[in-house]
Chain A
Amino acid sequence: DAGVIQSPRHEVTEMGQEVTLRCKPISGHNSLFWYRQTMMRGLELLIYFNNNVPIDDSGMPEDRFSAKMPNASFSTLKIQPSEPRDSAVYFCASSYAGPYEQYFGPGTRLTVT
C-alpha cells in the first residue's frame, strides 16, 4: 500500500515567491496534518484537518501561510510570499481518527534564498 505522498521532495525558491506543497494522504484516513521541522524549533504542528475540515490552525505562523483540503485525497500548503525564515522540512501526516498514530510522508525540504 502507498504511504503518504508529498511533492515536491525539494524546493528552492527566492524570497517573495509563492510556494505550494502538496500531500496525498493514505486512502481511508480521515485526518490530515501539516508539520514544520527545524533544528531550532523541532516538529511543530501547523494545521490539522478532520474529514477535510480544518480543526486546529493555531500553529499557522501568519497570514502568509494557508492550507486547503478540497477532498479526502489531496491537500496543499501554500506560502505567499515566502521568506528565508520559512526554510524548513515540511511534513504531511495522516491518521484514521484524529491525532492518534499518525503516518508521515517523506517531507518537502524547502529552501528560501
Chain B
Amino acid sequence: TQLLEQSPQFLSIQEGENLTVYCNSSSVFSSLQWYRQEPGEGPVLLVTVVTGGEVKKLKRLTFQFGDARKDSSLHITAAQPGDTGLYLCAGKTGANNLFFGTGTRLTVIP
C-alpha cells in the first residue's frame, strides 16, 4: 500500500496569514494531484503536477512537486475564509493506481 502522509493534519489560522501544507511519501509518483473538499461535498480537483520540480500557481495558491517526485507542497498566500476545507493530495503510480493522502483540514478564521 502506498502511503501519502499530509501535514499538518489540522491547521487553524487567521484571515490574511500565509500557510504551507505538505504531502510526503517514500514512493515515486508519475503525477500528483491536489483536491479541496468542502463540508457536505465531494473533492474538487485544483491542480495536477507532473514534472519533478514543477511549480504551478492558481491565484493565491502555489503548488510544487518535489524534484524526486515523492513529495509536494501547497502554499496559500493571504488566506481567506473561502479557503477553508479539507485539502487532499493524490499520487498516481502506474496506469491504474491513484492513492489519496490523509488530508489537511484547514480553517481560516475571519
Contact = CB atoms under 8 A, between A and B. Distances in A.
Interface of A: 4, 42-45, 48, 50, 55-56, 91, 93, 98-107
Contacts of B43: 43, 91, 104
B96 A55 contact: yes
Contacts of B44: 104
B21 interface: no
A105 B42 CA distance: 6
Contacts of B103: 42-43
Given A42-B102, A43-B100, A45-B98, A99 B92 contact: yes
Q: Top 7 nearest A-B pairs by Cβ distance?
A: A104-B42, A99-B98, A43-B100, A104-B43, A91-B42, A42-B102, A107-B42
Contacts of B35: 104
A39 to B, nearest CB: 10
Contacts of B95: 98
B33 to A, nearest CB: 7
Contacts of A56: 96-97
Interface in B79-97: 88, 92, 95-97
A32 B92 CA distance: 16
Interface size range of chain B in the complex: 20 to 34
Contact of B45 (A42, A50, A102): A102
Nearest to A104: B42
Interface string B5-48: 00000000000000000000000000101010000111111001
30 contacts: A4-B42, A42-B100, A42-B102, A43-B88, A43-B100, A43-B103, A44-B100, A45-B98, A45-B100, A48-B96, A50-B96, A55-B96, A56-B97, A91-B43, A98-B95, A99-B97, A99-B98, A100-B31, A100-B33, A100-B92, A101-B33, A101-B45, A102-B98, A103-B45, A104-B35, A104-B42, A104-B44, A106-B40, A106-B41, A107-B40
